Amino acid sequence: RKEQELDSKDAIILHQFSRPKNGVPSLSPFCLKMETYLRMADLPYQNYFDGKLSPQGKMPWIEYNHKKVSGTEFIIDFLEEKLGVNLNKHLGPHERAVSRAVTKMVEEHFYWTLAYCQWVENLHETRKMVSLFGPFSDLLKWILCHLTKGIVKREMYGHGIGRFSEEEMYTLMEKDMRTLAGLLGDKKYIMGPNVSTVDATVFGHLAQAMWTLPGTRPERLIKGELINLAMYCERIRRKFWPEWHHDDDNTLYESEESSEASKTYSPLQDFSFYSRTETFDEEGNSISQTPDTDYTGHSLFDSDVDMDDYRDHDQCK
């Protein structure tokens, strides 16, 4: 098939994997991180699902004014320099240091335990979400998933974390998730009331546990004991992804009155340009029909939600 010609003059072209079938924007924490960052920074961009890796063999990567940049950290640095955006301008030196430490814990440690759960232990469910079309799509998906499984196991072994037993890896995963829950506490975002770059990173990874790993330990943990992480994911999803609707949404996070309204949604953005300003009014209020309240009537965008109410409600389910 002839490749589509792209003109990246004054336009951000985001190359990433195809959308999965379950309604989640991406099965890749880094692709979801990058696209969420662009929305948080309100930078218009265009998705391109060509499946082609960057010259460094990375995904995602961007083109801007015909320059190619890969690696989410380098992409963000590049956009900050070229476009003057900075989600961390409200952070002090100590907060910036903490933010980077959290980012590295998530991307260099927590990521691998998620990859194991997704591509090794839960491979059968993951294969159902992979989007491929054509007469041999089922065979291709089987081959792709098992190749990915082998790559993940090999790279985990080289990293070192793959040399532990499955139970030990899940112990490490739980420690990371509890660390994130403790750091978040009852705050709106990881570093306080305002969103910062680390939130794109944390959300990109926690969203996998929240929506792509049904019945697994990380899903049970985030939707059970670590409910503040689930609320955090919902808060970001509803604010920056108003068109993202999940058929298996847990009613714990929305009221009965809003459950029907949440069924109305727009498809996830593909090739058209996307800008968050098209979805929010001048005061930053969502104009979509996505609900922004939980079952108690509290706003999911507030940081003062009574966690005891959620624990009591969860016990009654």
Identify the pLDDT of residue 111: 95
pLDDT tens per residue across span 280-304: 333 444 333 333 333 333 433 333 3
Cα–Cα distance, 150 to 251 (Å, whole number): 37
The strand pairing partners of 113, in sequence order, are: none
- Highest CATH level, class, for 12-241: mainly alpha
46 close to 221: Cβ distance less than 8 angstroms: no
Is the bond into 214 cis (omega within 30 degrees of 0)? no
Q: Is 284 left (phi over 0), alpha (psi -120 to 50) or beta?
A: left
Entry pTM: 0.78
pLDDT tens per residue across span 113-143: 999 999 998 888 888 888 777 777 778 888 8
244 close to 237: Cβ distance less than 8 angstroms: yes
pLDDT tens, residue order, the chain (317 aa): 334 556 667 789 999 988 888 788 999 999 999 999 999 999 999 998 877 888 888 899 999 988 999 999 999 999 999 999 999 999 999 999 999 999 999 999 999 999 999 999 888 888 888 877 777 777 888 888 889 899 999 999 999 999 999 999 999 999 999 999 999 999 999 999 999 999 999 999 999 999 999 989 999 999 999 999 999 999 999 999 988 876 544 434 443 333 333 444 445 555 445 555 444 333 444 333 333 333 333 433 333 334 444 444 444 44
Is the bond into 60 cis (omega within 30 degrees of 0)? yes
Strands 12-15 and 45-48: parallel
Residue 186, Cβ neighbours under 10 Å: how many?
12
Which backbone phi and psi does 272 adopt, to 5 degrees? -75, 155
Write the single-letter amino acid at 251: T
Q: What is the mean pLDDT of the chain?
A: 80
Give the tokens for residue 152. 């993940």
Identify the pLDDT of residue 247: 53
3 state SS of 296: coil
Percent share of the chain, pLDDT over 90: 56
Q: Alpha helix (H) ranges present in 9-88?
A: 29-40, 72-83
